Copies of this chain bind each other. A is one copy, B any other.
Amino acid sequence: MKIALDAMGGDKAPFEAIKGAIKALEEVETLNLVLVGKKEVIEEELKKYKCDNKRIEIVDAREVIEMTDDPVIAVKSKKDSSMNRTLELVKEGVVDASVSAGNTGALITASQLKLKRIKGVLRPAIATMFPNKKDKMLMLDVGATADCKPEFLNQYAMMGSKYLEILLGKKNPTVGLLNIGTEEGKGNEVTREAYNLLRENKSINFAGNIESTEVMNGKIDVVVTDGFTGNMVLKTAEGIAKFVVSSLKEEISKSFIYKIGALLLKPAMKHVMKKMDSSEYGGAMFLGLNGLSIKAHGNSDSNGIKNAIKVANKFAEMNFVEELKKVIDMDNSVEKTLD
């Protein structure tokens, strides 16, 4: 497979992006990469590594969409940005998938603009993996569409189930509707209506409402929610984890005994924090578009980039977009005219 990497996107680009690319090439023998960005910068960076140059191409792009740029304005005005060029390679069929750790809002905009929705997809969703007690689960939408209709959630459930089936080989994964109560009839207007649609949807394995306290209990494989709530949950999780860690650090600094304890416990803590780290899960994917666009965390180090490239490679190998089209074609439960 051939994957395009936005070499200039993310807080630690181009250094960690290129390093991640090299690692991915080492781990996946069948992989070829197209690195997109300022040619001279990429070439300079590549000199640091011994690598098989035949498996790397460079596509020059003179502009960079910064993390602080306004998403819509940046995508439209910086036509020669590495992000835009990366997605154009997917659109033109030059590569099988793309990875970027750049500005999230810009990547949402650019992915939709360049790749367009699959026919019949009401709204695209961003799907991301979360850790749970058993292993991991999928949550979507975590930020593509803030205002969702119940029908969107129903389709997210179908797309998410297919995603998990392909990524983990899990047949008939359980689907939970993220809600503020477990009983039928709980929640807001959107979740109450979505509950009914999901319950009637024979193509998924619906397990009812799931509260965010229980979302990590390992019983649910695919958690469905609107983009506003999903993004909120993601950010709350990040905020709480940070707060617990910083509070603990502050406490530890107060006593020598604590410092010794912390030293002994350090590997265990690191392990737990790694489990919480979203970059371990290969980034987030835009579901519902005519092409594979994977978002690595803006803060990704080389491992985050490598994992995202590997996920992109896997989904390209599985011909995921075509698989998704079949799912959408089967979906007769929604009004195609809703849009």
Contact = CB atoms under 8 A, between A and B. Distances in A.
B247 A272 contact: yes
Given A143-B180, A187-B146, A236-B236, A243 B216 contact: yes
A239 B258 contact: no
In this complex, the member of A70, A236, A251, A269 whose beta carbon has the largest number of chain B beta carbons within 10 angstroms is A236
A54 interface: no
Contact of A232 (B233, B246, B269, B275): B233
A284 to B, nearest CB: 14
A214 interface: yes
Interface residues of A, number: 61
A240 interface: yes
Contact of A268 (B180, B239, B246, B248): B248
Contact of A261 (B242, B254, B263): B263
A147 B254 CA distance: 45
A236 B258 contact: no
Nearest to A147: B188
Interface in A156-198: 178, 180-181, 183, 187-189, 191
Contact of A260 (B188, B264, B267): B264
A263 B258 CA distance: 9
A66 to B, nearest CB: 15
A193 to B, nearest CB: 12
Contact of A235 (B189, B213, B251, B257): B213
For the complex of A and B, list the 4 residue pairs with the smallest distance between their C-beta atoms, beginning with the closest.
A261-B264, A261-B265, A251-B268, A146-B188
Interface of A: 70, 105, 131, 133, 143, 146-147, 178, 180-181, 183, 187-189, 191, 211-216, 226-229, 231-233, 235-244, 246-248, 251-252, 254-255, 257-258, 260-269, 271-272, 275-276
